[in-house]
Structure 1
Amino acid sequence: MINVPKVWQDPSVLQLHREEPRAYYIPYSDAGSSKAGKRGRSPYYRTLNGSWKFRYHESARQVEERFYEDGADVSGWDSLLVPSCWQTNGYDQLHYTNVNYPIPCDPPFVPDENPAGLYVREFNLPDAWDGKKKYVVFEGVNSCFYLWVNGTFIGYSQGSRVPAEFDLTKALRPGTNRIAVMVLKWCDGTYIEDQDLWRYSGIFRDVYLLARDEVHVRDVFLRQELSPDFGQAVLRAELDAAGGSLPVAVELRDAEGRTVASGSAETNGQAAIELKIDAPTLWNAEQPYLYRLYVKSGTEVLSFPVGFRRIEVAAGGVFTVNGVAVKLKGVNRHDSHPELGQTIPLNHMIQDLNLMKRHNVNTIRTSHYPNDPRFLDLCDEYGFYVVDEADLECHGIGAAEHWKEGSFHTLTNHPDWREAFLDRAKRLVERDKNHPSVIIWSMGNESGYGDNHIAMQRWTRERDRSRLVHYEGAAEGYKGSTDVDSLDLESRMYASVQYMEEYGRDGNKTKPLFQCEYSHAMGNGPGDLQDYWDVIYKYPNLMGGCVWEWCDHGVLTQAADGTPFFAYGGDFGDRPNDGNFCIDGLVSPDRKPHTGLLELKQVIAPVKIEAENADEGLFRVHNLYDFAGLSGLYLTWKIESNGSLAQQGQVWELEAAPHGNQTIRLPIAGASSAERVLTFSVRAKNETSWAEAGYELAFAQFVLAADAATAGAAPTPLAAAAPSVQASLQGDLLTVTGFDFRHVFDLGQGAFVSLTKHEVEMLAAPAKFAVWRAPTDNDRNIKLKWTDEGYDRAKMKVYDVRWSQTGDSVVEIDVVFSLGGYIRYPILKGEAKWRVDGTGQVTLNVQVRVREELVFLPRFGLQLTMPAGTEEIEYRGFGPHESYIDKRRSVRKGTYLTTVDGMFEDYVRPQENGSRFGTEWAIATNAQGMGLAFSGPAPFSFNASHFSPEELTASAHSYELKKSKLTYVHLDYKMSGVGSNSCGPELLEPYRLDEKEIAFELAIKPVFKEDE
């Protein structure tokens, strides 16, 4: 093997010859190009991104001795783009694991078969760089690397997601230079980089050269103090110079480019320049006003964003920004691209931020490592509060010992790992210390809690007292150290709503409660957002939290037949793996919002509207912004009467102050016997960088009709003499015939097997009762109890069937039955009373009793299989997308015309989807309007799909689904909620179908819509 210092298994050696960490910046030659921030326009910057020669070895022991030397012939090597992850380019094993280490747990040792990637490229230096100091910066390399230039060993670094900078001055020469890098897949740092993600390797972030004056400003720390009334700010620029003494001038300009303060100093090592600013405009996520500080020395100009803000915890544990109580409405965001892995293009970052802004998100936790530094530049500009997290997680250390007491704290309590832990904090803080968007330092994730973490926290607080320090691993129940004085927050993951309520009521709490992860958004979820935010708004010491998580981490790949799909753990033969647990985001891998994101948008919306007296048109508009008034927004409103537009208007002048409210009056017409639904839409007046003018931020709906309880149902037939019916029995088949229909009931099966109108068949299979749904990802725990009790294999047992004809116009069928699966006692027993009248309408009245000791049901209702061609769906209820009892804040009441395909939500792993909560009536027909109409005295859950629950259950990926020509219609008394129990608390009791006595009534009528 190549002869290098073998330090990758020694936690006491974190680097060789690496520069000390510093703030992120690029030197420019003038203030104008510095402000533009286009790195390529700097004469002192040269990218090394591009095509490198690359060779992959399954083991570092196979590496050629002299690949890094000038004369080494690499012409036969592959070419690989830098930055990139080598696994996304066909090298090595694509591997997803969450908790468990992918290597034997033997810290600090890693496998002898340690894959290595060799990178070589040549580059030229500008003549203008003569006499300059020259550095190379690697923004991110996973997991460790060795560096050579022109055959000279430069150094070594580990710490995958923070920069490594090296001085190349002595090794470079005029003309052509050669740089060579050896990247190892594993090192001792792997043990503290055990995050929940795909395990990528390589030079995955930007690489570039910097030319610096011989004497230059090496580092800048911008500290600020604001007077108690925020009327004056003091900006202190602490300067660290390299190479000797030099004069430095600083200039602070406001957002309009006007100079508001300036100063200068002679620095020999360290110096500080203080600037005083009267009446500063403050920065916050809603109004991200940025000044810019220019640091000028020699030929260089450095530029830094300046956002004046103060982050504090006020009395009673209230989190504040600029003295104002703020709620963090956040998401957890990994670096994840469906094709590039952890290599994230700038436009992809912007796409994420635009989507977040459009969905009312104001906070990002950089789970679980520092993001690309340009991402923070964007957060400063767009306006986001950032919980900036150290690249530290050793989750697997506990799993390796089967979570034996104390095992989780092994590394954080081990003195040999102290410097490794500290290094993660230092490099995080030093790089990002000048970003106003960073309001909280996070000391990593899921790594136990002990002396090393406490050392990180104390160092961080001493270095930067302007921000808060967070680490969830110190929470009660982990049995680590009880020393939490160096933490400013009480941090939790997936604490229940009840826990938060108890914390909020506790008057002895002095720290805010922060849910760094909550409401697991995996698959069809989350279903508990409103419950969380009701209690968060209720108590001042609940500061909010971050939904887990922003995006699905699917890897775009192809099935054997060439069909593209998003892969997850295990799809590449990777072991160990955690399956689709990486598919747990609010958006798909290609950034298509899931309905969970639409739900979040509405729940955390900045404007809420309440009725003071709806029938008189009085409504109260609540401004939930912390800093912005409502003058930049307007309202549109409309009233629909039984689905038709009756009135509409606008409220252009909104004036409610932050945290304030105002009353508005609408010119609503008098009461009506028809149902009237008032819909407000809250919209932006002006275009922004992330949304067009008129973009909707929130909505609200109110039912105005006094008799709304009965309005809106499907039309009822006119009173008239009931047409006659005829009933005939042949074997077990009871045929009921009327003027234009012929229905067949199988007495042996206890179900209708045919429903027709004008001889058009409406059923393709016998009707049946159903309790099973394809488990959602959030059902992953409860489904074990469901299958144990046979819910997934429930069949109908008919005990008794009787029928009779009442007069000339009604046939009644009474079925005594049960549903149950093999092994277990029946799930439920009951009686179904079917009634056929002369119009052809079938009315079902079913009463069942569920076995007492059973866990709650997924659903209960009727499943109908309708024939090919049943594609058109019309319904009155909530839309336009799926909704459930606990996931329905983002839908609005109306009459909707869609298709069966239009009801389908395509989740990476197939599961229950597309149901419509609170449906009043629905019609499923072919393109000519021939089909079945459904209604009931009470709203029901409705779904129509080309995939049966059994097929959705059996399929691991959406591409495996085989679309049926048939349409499966579900008419449910109730459907249990979706919750977030894949990682969060159990489904809340109000959202469970746990009733033991169920009564359900439903009407089914064959229709030709165009004749109705």
Structure 2
Amino acid sequence: MLKIDKNWEDPNLLHVNREAPRAYYIPYADASAAAANKRGRSPYYRTLNGTWKFQYHASVKRVEDGFYQEGVDVTGWDDLLVPSCWQVNGYDQLHYTNVNYPIPCDPPFVPDDNPVGLYVRDFQVSDKWDDKEKYIVFEGVNSCFYLWINGAYVGYSQGSRIPAEFNVTPYLRGGSNRIAVLVLKWCDGTYLEDQDLWRFSGIFRDVYLLAREKTHVRDTFIRQELAADFSKADLNCELETSGRCEVRLELKNASGETVASSGAVIDGKGAVKLTLDNPKLWNAEQPNLYQLYVHSGEEVLRFSVGFRRVEIADGVFRINGQAIKLKGVNRHDSHPELGQTIPVNHMIKDLNLMKQHNVNTIRTSHYPNDPRFLELCNEYGFYVIDEADLECHGLIRTGVEGAFHVLSANTDWEAAFVDRAIRMVERDKNQPCVVIWSMGNESGYHVNHMAMAKWTRERDNSRMVHYEGAAEKYKGHPDTDCLDMDSRMYATVQEMEEHALNPDKVKPLFQCEYSHAMGNGPGDLKDYWDVIYKYPKLMGGCVWEWNDHGIKTHTPEGKPFFAYGGDFGDKPNDGNFCIDGLVSPDRKPHIGLLELKKVIAPVRLEAEDLSKGLIRLTNLYDFRDLTHAALYWKVEQAGRLVEQGHIWQLDAAPHGSQIIAVPYAEPTGEEETYLTISIRMKEETRWSGIGHELTFEQFELSPAAASEQAALQVDAPPVLASTSGGRLAIDGFDFRHVFDLQDGTFVQLSKHNVQMLAAPAQFNIWRAPMDNDRRIKQQWIEAGYDRASMKVYRCEWSQPSADTVEITVDFSLGGYIRLPLLHGQALWRIDGTGEVSLRVDVKVREDLLFLPRFGLQLIMPRGTEEVEYFGFGPHESYIDKRQSAKKGRYLLSVDEMFQNYIMPQENGARYGTEWAILSNEQGMGLKFTSSSGDFSFNAEHFTPHDLTAAEHDYELERLKRKETIVQLDYRNSGVGSHSCGPELAPQYQLNDKEFTFELSITPIFKEDE
């Protein structure tokens, strides 16, 4: 039986023999190697990443004592790559849960059957290190671990996502050595690490050795003071040494030139001051970095320095004196195959995508990220909210009143709370990208959080302190003076505006989470940013969240898919709630990311005087002018390019405007004409190429002439109407339509004997619930929306003229048990050209919730694969999710109309459509228009009920139909972000109790048009 102290159930025992936290750095032998920032090039660095021997046990009780001894034979153990997570390597249980603790909630106790991983590795230590102090650093181990070297116990640590460092000089020898690590899945720290994620375990970040001089610089805190006008900067470099050291500091600019230097002899603690005139300031738009080299003996430490001032003045968040809007995302460490082990190239992929989509802020939800990620943020230019590894969300599910605050109010846990702030701040205190410290997430609020914030403010007063949990103040303890901003999650647009207008609210408001990007969403971004831009007191916010957390796996048949909670038999689980990002697990942008890019774009384009070609261009950058960008324009009529050009010189200052004269000709003809303006990069960056589009805008120069539609109605040939077997046949020159008088609908539309319906047409109100419909879905089902069918009360036809047949149908839609949902009267009109016109007047039951949609559903025959339309595109668009779509003429396939989501749901609608043609590849099909205005349509190989029934996208392969299902909607309710955010805004709900929908359906052969 294993003989170790049971440290994992004592909240006051956070480590044994662990070194005090310090700033992140790697010692190098010279400045050039330090500048290259390649750790492997340092003679004082030795990675322990690689293959380790590994043994997994379902319970720590099954571990035999002595496994860590030098002579133990581990050749029969498994091989496991370090860093990695057990669960994605076939060990233990893959488990996703959001709020609920996956163990009984009994802090500080955890299950006795506590899974454990044993790691053993033999490695070499160079004789050149004999006279060095030697340290081992674990950047991340979940959740706690014990360490032995050469059979001797070294120490213990917990706190999964913050580094643990041990002095291992007494234990190492030259030549061969053996390291053994015991990692436990659960510890008392698990109660502080209840984040919304897959529960991974193991040594999941880098492990390495450092060799140091006997007396060396142990820690550096680079404090800066900027003159009021930023004309001068003082660097006060506080140094901690392990003994008496002669230290020399050099500050170099981006060109490698030394711009300041100084030195001192430090014995224990001391400071060196550097002064620089006219420093280039750092910000997310212009991430100007200097490099500080700290020379001591044979070692050189390098730190990036970004001169910036972070403050709140007059209730406004400012950087370098400028009011800033934080255009952010929440980012978890998540890889579809590696779990929480994140390679540097994967980090870079994320940052490139963020930059390309105008994101300037990252909240490290909900723990500090790998320190190399922050170094990249320094270089790319991102504002970072660095968040402590702290979340106690599961306490709210205990059923006990006030339980959410039980740990934050219990001073027995104060050391554990504060330890997580200390280790984060000390590690990252020199990272210029960090502008806000966050005291964790969803952990109640009480004295322990106040202690965290108090320590943080005393240690570093150069940044702001944030904690959203204080928005729900604990009775009797409303003290939030230790926090610099009011923080909210998923506040409505109205609530944000109320904060901005309330004179008693003296702090700025930060939405640390808003606009939940789950599935087909979010759909409320523009509404938020209209109000954020309007009020200086609103700082901005971070969309929840950056990426879907799907785990790449395979069906029994070998088909790959992204799994979510419950797919591995995990209980309790929160299903697909982890599939809630702006990008897929493999980093393919969702349409929601395109929406965000457009809404937070750094340039605003407005019509000044279109008759003169004048466009107002407003620079929303905070620090840079627009000389790096160019304006491209084009004019299109009915989707056809008429003329184009570009304007190379833009010079609007930050927050300034300029009027641009676009030299297009005055539109002629009667076709709808649009001007499209595109702002693009004219220089290459590390994240974009020349021509990358920052934003665009469209302006209607002239609408289509009304006479164009009227011209189609003249000289119609006569039609012949006849009835047989309850059906009405309407025969014309080149068409035959058949209407079922009993069922009140068309069952055949044809031209030149080409059949264009594969099933009777029907009215439809159901859509496959989006993730953002999840809170209202059950109410829709209870009301019968999903099973609504048509009842025909009256169906009559007449032929008022030789070239016209009219059919009137009185009907209702309803499902079993419930009263009819709506009543309507449909007037169908067929003329001699074969065109079918529909006017339907609808009255919805007054007490009903808003409808998902209302429209006409057609099922067109196999081979109907070509979609041509004039409307918003080329991707999906909805009434509240269309900022990133451009009005134009598009030619797509039915498959290209489909927008895949890991959880199948309503997708692929095209809002604002003026006309659409669904046809076979020879152009034989149906054209749809509406005299009452734009309409929304979908075309895909699935019915709404097909998508409703599927739980994973791989299931769609067997559900895919040969026919094409076309949905032609009066309106499709908006997207919103109600999966976690506020209810869908009223203006985006189909809540009309009376409305009229008009639609024209014309069989066509496109080549003859």
2:717 to 702, 723, 730: 723
Higher mean alpha-carbon deviation, 565-574 vs 475-484, is at 475-484
Query: Which structure 2 residues correspond to residues 394-413 of structure 1 after superposition, within 5 A?
Result: 394-400=392-398, 402=399, 404-413=400-409
Q: What per-residue deviation string (whole Å, max 9, x for no partner) do you get for residues 486-533 of structure 1?
A: 100100000000001111112232211000000000000000000000
Instruction: Name 2:561's counterpart in structure 1.
Output: 565
1:427 aligns with: 423
Following TM superposition, by how much is the alpha carbon of 1:642 offset from its aligned partner in structure 2, in angstroms? 1.6
- Of 988, 995, 998 in structure 2, the residue corresponding to residue 991 of structure 1 is 988
Deviation readout 1:346-371 (Å, 9 max, x if unpaired): 00000000000000000000000000
Q: How does 1:550-699 map to 2 (within 5 A)?
A: 550-672=546-668, 673-699=670-696
Q: In the alignment, is the contact (CA less than 8 A) between 1:615 and 1:671 conserved in 2? A: no
Amino acid at match of 2:131: G
Q: CA-to-partner distance for each residue in 1:935-988, whole Å, 9 max, x for gaps?
A: 011100011011110010110000011211110000000010000001100000
Q: Percent identity among equivalent residues?
A: 67
Match of 1:312 in 2: 311
2:928 corresponding residue in structure 1: 934
For residue 326 of structure 2, what is the aligned residue in structure 1? Answer: 328
The alignment partner of 2:592 has SS state of helix
Is this contact kept in 2: 1:27–1:300, CA < 8 A? yes
Detail structure 1 runs of 4+ shifted over 6 Å in the superposition.
none
Q: Secondary structure at the match of 2:461?
A: coil
* 1:753 maps to 2:747: yes
1:980 partnered with 2:977: yes
TM-score (norm 2): 0.99
**1:312-333 deviations in whole A, cap 9, x for unaligned?**
0011x10000000000000000
Deviations 1:82-136 (A, max 9, x none): 0000000000000000000000000000000000000000000122111001111
- Matched to 1:63, the amino acid is V
- Per the alignment, residue 785 of structure 2 pairs with 791
Give the Å deviation of 1:830: 0.8
The gaps in structure 1 that reach 5 residues or longer are: none
1:462 aligns with 2:441: no
Residue deviations 1:513-570 (CA, integer Å, cap 9, x gap): 0000000000000000000000000000001000000000000000111110000000
CA drift at 1:609: 0.6
Amino acid at match of 1:725: V
Equivalent pair of 1:338/1:554 in contact (CA under 8 Å): yes
Counterparts of 1:708 and 1:26, CA distance in 2: 66
Q: Distance in 2 between matches of 1:633 and 1:156?
A: 54
Letter in 2 for 1:30: D
Give the SS at the match of 2:190.
helix
Are 2:289 and 1:293 aligned?
no
| 1:869-880 correspondence runs (5 A) | 869-880=863-874
- Residue of structure 2 in register with 1:92 after alignment: 92
Could you tell me how far 1:421 is from its partner in structure 2?
A: 0.1
Cα deviations across residues 11-46 of structure 1 (Å, max 9, x unaligned)?
010000000000000000001110111000000001
Tell me the distance in 1 between the aligned counterparts of 2:837 and 2:801: 17
Cα distance in structure 2, aligned partners of 1:194 and 1:55: 26
Partner of 2:2 in structure 1? 2
Q: How does 1:945-964 map onto structure 2 within 5 Å?
A: 945-961=940-956, 962-964=959-961
**Cα distance, 1:671 vs. partner?**
4.3
- 1:645 positional shift: 1.4
TM-score, with structure 1 as normaliser: 0.99
Q: Does structure 1 residue 850 correspond to structure 2 residue 848?
A: no
Check the 8 A contact 1:360/1:605 in 2, yes or no. yes
Q: CA deviation at 1:481?
A: 2.6
* Cα distance in 1, alignment partners of residues 934 and 475 from structure 2: 49
Q: Deviations over 1:592-617 (max 9, x none)?
A: 00000000000000001111111210
The answer on 1:13 being equivalent to 2:13 is yes
Corresponding residue number in structure 2 for 1:912: 906
**How far 1:648 sits from its partner (Å)?**
1.0
Code of the residue aligned with 1:879 in structure 2: it is G
- Residues 333 and 718 of structure 1, relative CA distance in 2, 3 Å threshold: closer
For 2:994, give the aligned amino acid: E
For residue 738 of structure 2, what is the aligned residue in structure 1?
744
**Counterpart in 1 of 2:763?**
769
Query: For residues 694 and 808 of structure 1, what CA distance do their matches in structure 2 show?
Result: 59
Q: Which amino acid aligns with 1:791?
A: Y
* Pairs aligned (count): 1005
Aligned-residue CA RMSD (Å): 1.0
The letter of the residue matching 1:830 is: G
Deviates more, 1:733-742 or 1:517-526: 733-742
The residue number in structure 2 matching 1:518 is 514
Per-residue CA distance 1:448-498 (angstroms, 9 max, x = gap): 000100000000000000000000000146657301011001000000000
Of residues 377, 380, 383, the one that matches 2:378 is: 380
Q: Which residue matches 1:1006?
A: 1003
Q: Which residue of the partner structure matches residue 228 of structure 2?
A: 228
Contact 2:134 2:169 in 1 (8 A): yes
Letter of the 1:684 counterpart? M
**Contact preservation (8 Å) 1:450, 1:480:** no
CA distance in 2, matches of 1:407, 1:570: 27
Amino acid of the structure 1 residue aligned with 2:373: F
1:8 alignment partner AA: W
Summarize the Cα distance change of 1:541–1:709 in structure 2 as closer, same or farther, 3 Å threshold.
Answer: farther
Residues 630, 657 of structure 1: 8 Å contact kept = yes
Aligned to 1:54: 54
Query: For 1:939 and 1:123, how far apart are their aligned partners in 2?
Result: 70
Partner of 1:363: 361
- Answer yes or no: is the 8 Å Cα contact 2:245–2:296 preserved in 1: yes
Gaps of 5+ in 2: none
Q: Secondary structure, in 3 states, of the residue corresponding to 2:914?
A: strand
SS at match of 1:84: coil
Secondary structure of the residue that 2:308 maps to in structure 1?
coil
- Which residue number in structure 1 is paired with residue 116 of structure 2? 116
Residue 883 of structure 1 pairs with residue 897 of structure 2: no
The residue that corresponds to 2:36 in the other structure is 36
**Residues 543 and 720 of structure 1: CA distance in aligned 2, closer, same or farther (over 3 Å):** closer
Are 1:857 and 1:994, in contact at CA under 8 Å, matched by a contact in 2?
yes
SS of residue matched to 2:1000: strand
Query: Which residue is equivalent to 2:965?
Result: 968
Which one of 342, 346, 349 corresponds to residue 348 of structure 1?
346
Q: Which residue of 2 aligns with 1:155?
A: 155
The answer as to whether partners of 1:448 and 1:480 remain within 8 angstroms in 2 is no
Change in 2 beyond 3 A, CA 1:902/1:498: same
Task: Give me the whole-angstrom Cα distance separating, in 1, the residues matched to 2:648 and 2:127.
Answer: 61
| SS class of match (1:735) | strand
Give the aligned residue type for 1:349: M
Q: Which residue of 2 aligns with 1:249?
A: 248
Partner of 1:778: 772
Determine if contact 2:742/2:792 at 8 Å carries over to the other structure.
Answer: yes
* Most deviating of 898-907 and 724-733: 724-733
Matched, 1:182 2:176: no
Question: Partners in 1 of 2:876 and 2:837 — Cα distance?
Answer: 26
Q: 1:480 to 1:820 in 2, by over 3 A?
A: farther
Name the residue aligned to 2:257: 258
